[in-house]
Structure 1
Amino acid sequence: MGRWLPIAVPVIAVIALVLAWGSKPGVGLAIVLAVVLIATVLVAVHHAEVVAHKVGEPFGSLILAIAVTIIEVGLIVTLSAGGDEHAATLARDTVFSAFMITTTGLIGLSILIGAMKFGTVRFNSEGSGAALATLSTLAVLCLVLPDFTETSGPRFSPSQLAFAAIASLLLYGLFVVTQTISHRRFFLPVDPDIETGAGPIAEPVTEDDDEVDEHGEPPTLGATLASLGLLLVSLVAVVGLAKLESPSIEGGVVALGLPESVVGVVIALVILLPESISAVRAAQRNHIQTSLNLGLGSAMASIGLTIPAVAVASIWMPGQLVLGLGDTQIVLLALSIVVSILTVVPGRATKLQGGVHLVIFAAFLFLSVSP
């Protein structure tokens, strides 16, 4: 990436956002804003990787996951403020889409790319298993249980919603402590040259290993802080531009006769694009553990942080918050959890596992447009 592009693009995005804010973009302006949006997402990836290179794993993945989730929450709350019928289910559709995109699309593509280049890819089953267990609990607690409570409709009562929000925050906080402090070793990339049997796979690659230093020396503190600031600016610009584009997206969905839940899918795809690109790049370097950290961590942050934030916002937002999934979505969620468990437990994966995840992802996309 050119020397000035990482600085110029966020500035251009903010200027475009300010000039277009409050307007209803026509076709021409919508296309221009879409191009700026994509460019800003790519620049956000660059700055996120600079920060990640400085702080190392798993902190880099955690920073990006939390930053993107904050933007996701802002976008959901902003779009839900309109109070139309779809506003009640937008949070559910976006969070579920984020779960499916990360656990099947992002992880499947990363494994497939890594396996095609390196054969069998390896990762820490302990860390990935812990992340998957936490994510599965959050998903079932927040997105499945509302369908089976005595409250009328697929929604929680106020007290149940408060419990789910508090439990989600506690689970996510406990996982962050485990990932970054008590068991950080479980979430580091492993040495792919060490062959072992079932159980813990290989030794973690530390920042002192030659293999990790593939981008040269870590950036200076000043460069890291500058990238962190530009990353935040880029993410804010992304959510603002996405909001401006949302009427065009919703209009296109209606014109094509697609279900309104497709809007949530599109939002999740845009929001998760930076992490998806970072995960694929990590897979190309045979750091599948980093890809798993990004995928599972993003989905976990999406549920563990978004649901509590939306629960609080629902106090003054019009309408009731619907979180319970439909029958088809529950089946896809259950299938994704089972397949992810079978992928993670051995601590190694091949092209087959990547292909299986991607087929489930394709089924999710197809059933989203043709339920």
Structure 2
Amino acid sequence: MATTDTLDGKNVLRSELALWVGIITTIVFWTVGAVWLKDMEGALMAGGLFIWLFSVMLWLSFGVVRHAECLAIKLGEPYGTLILTLSVISIEVVMISAVMLTGGENPTIARDTMFSVLMIVLNGMLGVTLLLGGLKHHTQAYNLEGARSYLAVLVALAFLCLILPRFTLSAEGGAPSHLMANFLIFASIILYGVFLFLQSTRHSKFFKAPDVGSEAEDSHEGHEGLVVRSVGFHAVFLILTILPIVLLSKKVALVIDYGIAQAQAPHALAGFVVAILVLSPEALAAVKAALDNQLQRTVNIALGSALATIGLTVPAVLIISEVTGKFIELGLFYTDMVLLIATFFCASIVFGGQRTNTLAGAVHLVLFFAYIVLIFD
């Protein structure tokens, strides 16, 4: 059972230990640690720095999940999950925007990041959660109307933003023309805004577990050991705990780049590993929910993250492109298109009924491993 607790300084210091360690680590690596990352010598030093950064980021991820679960208890679903999703994806959008504004010319950074997140979330995260949930509970129920709502908006935005620009002739490569860019900005904001409005108001029941009464919704089942405080407390500390993960992800990327260069591995592997680290809070929350037989929360996290990635990233990068004149490519290459279409096709079949099983997780995991193979091939 989750318990409530009054705000006490000693309790906060103890319960938020991961945050304090994360802040200290962030300060170290953004000051004196910058020299270590610049002058790495040998695999031993790089390996030690990677273990340090990865361990702290993983510890922080558990803290993010804990605060999100407390918010889910206080606010009910889908609001707790929605806050977690928007927090992680919004900071991810800020990272991409910062790279576009301060970095060199890299017209594919936004497209490649969105595609990586989609593959990790829709195939990796969803595959693992459905597999583990199926192994433990055999079959699991979810709200069909909610899953279909996610997929309808997600497929429309993904095809418009990541596939259509490759076939239009008004701009070179996979870049959208000015007219198409303005349309995509408008369409993404409006469609995602309408979805959020319906999800949080009149159709919020679509995103709650089926056949759950009001008493069950207020239950703390599956949240054993949690200390629940005020909504404001958990909302603030959720954001504070996410920030070191994002700031440290830039530093761990340097270590990963060094390791990739030494091992002569594909450069795309760096973005893949960093994306996994950034998405780790949502992945941990999704796995825990599936093991607790709360599949609806898993669906809300996975499909909600994928939708937020496109709904928030596309308008941000296109506005930056239009204002600064930076060239940007959105259209995927044909191999990636095939994998994306296969992912949506399988997801539509998996969420075509009202229960999932182990096979559904295995199917998405195979597609995820196919994505990893394509990184190397």
TM over 0.5: yes
> Identity rate of aligned residues, in percent?
35
Q: How does 1:121-270 map to 2 (within 5 A)?
A: 121-150=140-169, 151-190=171-210, 203=211, 205-209=212-216, 212-214=219-221, 215=223, 222=230, 224-270=231-277
Q: How does 1:1-371 map to 2 (within 5 A)?
A: 4-21=13-30, 23-24=34-35, 25=37, 26=40, 27=46, 28-85=48-105, 87-150=106-169, 151-190=171-210, 203=211, 205-209=212-216, 212-214=219-221, 215=223, 222=230, 224-315=231-322, 319-368=326-375, 370-371=376-377
Q: Does structure 2 conserve the Cα–Cα contact (< 8 Å) formed by 1:154 and 1:325?
A: yes
Write the distance in 1 (CA, Å) between the matches of 2:52 and 2:271.
22
Change (3 A) 1:206 1:272: farther
Amino acid at match of 2:21: I
Amino acid at match of 1:57: E
Change (3 A) 1:96 1:166: same
Give the C-alpha shift of residue 34 in structure 1: 2.8
Write the distance in 1 (CA, Å) between the matches of 2:238 and 2:319.
26
Change (3 A) 1:218 1:32: closer
Write the distance in 1 (CA, Å) between the matches of 2:139 and 2:146.
19
Amino acid at match of 1:117: K
Write the distance in 2 (CA, Å) between the matches of 1:324 and 1:279.
29
Q: Does structure 2 conserve the Cα–Cα contact (< 8 Å) formed by 1:6 and 1:47?
A: no
Q: Does structure 2 conserve the Cα–Cα contact (< 8 Å) formed by 1:65 and 1:297?
A: yes
Write the distance in 1 (CA, Å) between the matches of 2:325 and 2:243.
25
Tell me the TM-score normalized by structure 2: 0.87
Write the distance in 2 (CA, Å) between the matches of 1:188 and 1:218.
21
Write the distance in 1 (CA, Å) between the matches of 2:269 and 2:224.
41
Change (3 A) 1:12 1:106: same
Secondary structure class of the residue paired with 2:107: helix
Amino acid at match of 1:45: V
Q: Does structure 1 conserve the Cα–Cα contact (< 8 Å) formed by 2:70 and 2:228?
A: no
Q: Does structure 2 conserve the Cα–Cα contact (< 8 Å) formed by 1:83 and 1:317?
A: no
Q: Does structure 2 conserve the Cα–Cα contact (< 8 Å) formed by 1:132 and 1:296?
A: yes
Secondary structure class of the residue paired with 1:77: helix
Change (3 A) 1:251 1:313: farther
| Count of aligned residue pairs for this structure pair | 355
Write the distance in 1 (CA, Å) between the matches of 2:331 and 2:49.
37
Give the C-alpha shift of residue 264 in structure 1: 2.7
Give the C-alpha shift of residue 286 in structure 1: 1.1
Q: Does structure 2 conserve the Cα–Cα contact (< 8 Å) formed by 1:95 and 1:268?
A: no
Amino acid at match of 1:113: L
Moved more, 57-66 or 258-267: 258-267
Write the distance in 2 (CA, Å) between the matches of 1:237 and 1:280.
22
Give the C-alpha shift of residue 148 in structure 1: 0.7
Change (3 A) 1:170 1:267: farther
Moved more, 331-340 or 313-322: 313-322
Write the distance in 1 (CA, Å) between the matches of 2:79 and 2:200.
7
Residues 306-326 of structure 1 show CA distances to partners (whole Å, capped at 9, x for unaligned) of 111122233466841111111
Give the C-alpha shift of residue 219 in structure 1: 6.2
Unaligned runs of 5+ in 2: 1-10, 41-45
Give the C-alpha shift of residue 244 in structure 1: 1.7
Give the C-alpha shift of residue 20 in structure 1: 2.2
Give the C-alpha shift of residue 217 in structure 1: 10
Amino acid at match of 1:297: G
Change (3 A) 1:210 1:299: closer
Amino acid at match of 2:238: L
Tell me the TM-score normalized by structure 1: 0.89
Change (3 A) 1:122 1:211: farther
Write the distance in 1 (CA, Å) between the matches of 2:213 and 2:23.
38
Amino acid at match of 1:327: Y
Q: Does structure 1 conserve the Cα–Cα contact (< 8 Å) formed by 2:76 and 2:217?
A: no
Write the distance in 2 (CA, Å) between the matches of 1:218 and 1:209.
18
Amino acid at match of 1:233: L
Residues 184-242 of structure 1 show CA distances to partners (whole Å, capped at 9, x for unaligned) of 1111112xxxxxxxxxxxx2x244117942136996553x3222211111111111111
Unaligned runs of 5+ in 1: 191-202
Residues 276-299 of structure 1 show CA distances to partners (whole Å, capped at 9, x for unaligned) of 111111111111111011000000
Write the distance in 2 (CA, Å) between the matches of 1:235 and 1:318.
31
